[in-house]
Amino acid sequence: MTNPVTVEVTRGLLVESRHRGSVAVVDGDGKLVFSLGDIEAAVFPRSACKAMQALPLIESGAADAYGFGDKELALACASHNGEDEHVALAASMLSRAGRNAEALECGAHWSMSQKVLIQQARALDAPTALHNNCSGKHAGFICTCCHQHIEPKGYVGYEHPLQVEIRAAIESLTGAVLGAESCGTDGCSIPTYAVPLKSLAHGFAKMATGVGLEPLRAKASRRLIEACMAEPFYVAGTGRACTELMQLAPGRIFAKTGAEGVFCAAIPEKGIAIALKCDDGATRAAEATVAATLARFFETESEVHAALTAFAATSMRNWNGIHVGDIRVTSVLTGK
Amino acid sequence: MTNPVTVEVTRGLLVESRHRGSVAVVDGDGKLVFSLGDIEAAVFPRSACKAMQALPLIESGAADAYGFGDKELALACASHNGEDEHVALAASMLSRAGRNAEALECGAHWSMSQKVLIQQARALDAPTALHNNCSGKHAGFICTCCHQHIEPKGYVGYEHPLQVEIRAAIESLTGAVLGAESCGTDGCSIPTYAVPLKSLAHGFAKMATGVGLEPLRAKASRRLIEACMAEPFYVAGTGRACTELMQLAPGRIFAKTGAEGVFCAAIPEKGIAIALKCDDGATRAAEATVAATLARFFETESEVHAALTAFAATSMRNWNGIHVGDIRVTSVLTGK
For A139-172, what is each residue's pLDDT tens digit? 999 999 999 999 999 999 999 999 999 999 999 9
Q: Decide if A117 and B121 are in contact by the 8 Å CB cutoff.
A: yes
Give the model confidence (pLDDT) of A211-239 as tens digits.
999 999 999 999 999 999 999 999 999 99
Distance CA B321, CA B315 (A): 11
Contacts of A134 (CB under 8 A, 6+ apart): A47, A50, A78, A79, A106, A187, A188
Positive or negative torsion for Cα B83, B84, B86, B91: positive
Contacts of B282 (CB under 8 A, 6+ apart): A280, A281, A282, B7, B19, B261
Give A59-71 as a DSSP string: HTSHHHHTT--HH
Q: Which helix (H) or strand (E) holds B23?
A: strand B14-27
Q: Decide if B187 and A318 are in contact by the 8 Å CB cutoff.
A: yes
Distance CA B23, CA B39 (A): 7
The reply to whether A42 touches chain B by the CB within 8 Å rule is yes
Distance CA A195, CA B120 (A): 42
CB atoms < 10 A from the CB of B104, how many?
A: 26
Distance CA A182, CA A167 (A): 12
A vs B: CB pairs below 8 A = 147
User: Considering only CA atoms, which of A269, A289, A273, A270 is closest in space to residue A281?
Assistant: A289
Please state whether the predicted TM-score (pTM) of the whole model is above 0.90. yes
| A165 DSSP assignment | H
User: Considering only CA atoms, which of B192, B285, B268, B260 is closest in space to residue B228?
Assistant: B268
The per-residue pLDDT for A176 is: 97
Distance from CA of A219 to the nearest CA of B (A): 33
| ipTM score for this prediction | 0.97
The reply to whether B88 touches chain A by the CB within 8 Å rule is no
Distance CA A174, CA A171 (A): 5
DSSP-derived 3-state class of residue A200: helix
Positive or negative torsion for Cα B234, B237, B241, B243: positive
| B323-329/A314-317 β-pairing | unpaired
The reply to whether A149 touches chain B by the CB within 8 Å rule is no
CB atoms < 10 A from the CB of A205, how many?
A: 30
Averaged confidence pLDDT in chain B: 98
Contacts of B228 (CB under 8 A, 6+ apart): B51, B73, B74, B77, B235, B246, B254, B256
Compare CB distances from B280 to A122, A282, A322 and report the shortest one's residue: A282
Mutate to test the interface with B, among A10, A16, A110 (most CBs of B within 10 A): A16
In the beta sheet, which residues pair with residue B256?
B264
Give the model confidence (pLDDT) of A82-121 as tens digits.
999 999 999 999 999 999 999 999 999 999 999 999 999 9
Find the radius of gyration of the CA atoms of chain B. Answer: 19
Positive or negative torsion for Cα A74, A76, A81, A85: positive
The reply to whether A125 touches chain B by the CB within 8 Å rule is no
Distance CA A118, CA A108 (A): 16
Looking at chain A, the whole-number percentage of residues with pLDDT higher than 90 is 99
Angle at CA B78, nearest 5°, toward B72 and B80? Answer: 105
Contact A82, A132 (CB under 8 A): yes
Compare CB distances from B13 to A110, A181, A320 and report the shortest one's residue: A181
For residue B210, is it left (φ>0), alpha (ψ between -120 and 50) or beta?
Answer: left
| B191-193/B183-185 β-pairing | antiparallel
Distance CA B240, CA A75 (A): 35
Compare CB distances from B109 to A12, A186, A319 and report the shortest one's residue: A319
Contact B167, B183 (CB under 8 A): no
Judging contacts by C-beta atoms under 8 Å, the chain B residues touching residue A188 are: 318-319
Contact A72, A91 (CB under 8 A): no
Judging contacts by C-beta atoms under 8 Å, the chain B residues touching residue A105 are: 320
Contact A76, A189 (CB under 8 A): no
The per-residue pLDDT for A336 is: 84
Could you list the beta-strand ranges (E) of chain A: 5-11, 14-27, 32-36, 42-43, 183-185, 191-193, 195-196, 254-258, 262-267, 272-278, 314-317, 323-329
Q: Decide if A184 and B105 are in contact by the 8 Å CB cutoff.
A: no
Give the model confidence (pLDDT) of B32-88 as tens digits.
999 999 999 999 999 999 999 999 999 999 999 999 999 999 999 999 999 999 999
| B183 DSSP assignment | E
| pLDDT, one tens digit for every residue, chain B (336 residues) | 899 999 999 999 999 999 999 999 999 999 999 999 999 999 999 999 999 999 999 999 999 999 999 999 999 999 999 999 999 999 999 999 999 999 999 999 999 999 999 999 999 999 999 999 999 999 999 999 999 999 999 999 999 999 999 999 999 999 999 999 999 999 999 999 999 999 999 999 999 999 999 999 999 999 999 999 999 999 999 999 999 999 999 999 999 999 999 999 999 999 999 999 999 999 999 999 999 999 999 999 999 999 999 999 999 999 999 999 999 999 999 988
The reply to whether B186 touches chain A by the CB within 8 Å rule is yes
Distance from CA of A131 to the nearest CA of B (A): 12
Q: Decide if A319 and B12 are in contact by the 8 Å CB cutoff.
A: no
Q: Decide if B16 and A281 are in contact by the 8 Å CB cutoff.
A: yes
Angle between helical axes of A283-295 and A303-312 (0-180°, round to 10): 160
Judging contacts by C-beta atoms under 8 Å, the chain A residues touching residue B325 are: 184
Judging contacts by C-beta atoms under 8 Å, the chain A residues touching residue B324 are: 184-187
The per-residue pLDDT for A288 is: 98
Chain B residue whose CA is closest to A191:
B12
The per-residue pLDDT for B336 is: 84
Judging contacts by C-beta atoms under 8 Å, the chain B residues touching residue A121 are: 117-118, 121-122
Q: Decide if A9 and B260 are in contact by the 8 Å CB cutoff.
A: yes
The reply to whether A208 touches chain B by the CB within 8 Å rule is no
Contacts of B303 (CB under 8 A, 6+ apart): none
